[in-house]
Amino acid sequence: MYSKILILRFPKETVHEPIVCDLVRQYDLTFNILNAAVLPRKEGILVLKLFGTRKNFKQGVLYLKENGVLVKNAEQEVKRDDTKCTHCGACTAVCPTGSLSIHRPDMHVEFDQSQCSVCQLCVPACPARAMQARPTTNQSFF
């Protein structure tokens, strides 16, 4: 199974089209929405983790581009420096995907990077500066 986090930008002319639905049906792909801002008559942004075979993934990305969607690989990732983290929980209050959560009863902050949408809201929220956005090593789709 192949997967990547993609940032999709839908022009205002296409936000009303079922492009992602067709992507899933036609190319046998699955996805997890990590972040979204899609409004009528405005540009839409969708951050998702797309899963499938490498062949279907490539064909699906081409389908998106052919339909006017700007497709970008998430060029950064958020990492936590465990030596700096004080487990204060400030980052959990701003995390829209729940990738940062408090484990009870010991009040330990857990970070599930696979659920991170790279929104970077946690970076300025962290008083200890343990959260950092860094470029990914492999920025290509294929």
- Tally the C-alpha atoms within 13 A of residue 26's C-alpha that lie toward its C-beta: 13
Per-10-residue mean pLDDT, the chain, length 142: 86 87 94 82 85 94 94 84 95 92 93 85 94 70 44
Q: What is the pLDDT of residue 108?
A: 94
Our count of domains for the chain comes to 2
- 141 within domain boundaries: no
Are 69 and 93 within one domain? no
**Which residue range forms the structural domain that includes residue 46?**
2-73
Amino acid 139: pLDDT: 45
Per-residue pLDDT at 137: 57
In 11-107, which ranges are E strands?
30-37, 44-52, 70-73, 76-80, 100-103
Decide which of 27, 58, 73 is a domain's last residue.
73
Q: Is residue 67 part of a domain?
A: yes
Q: Which residue has the tokens 């204060």?
A: 88
CB-CB contact of 85 with 128 (8 Å) = yes
Same domain, 80 and 68: no
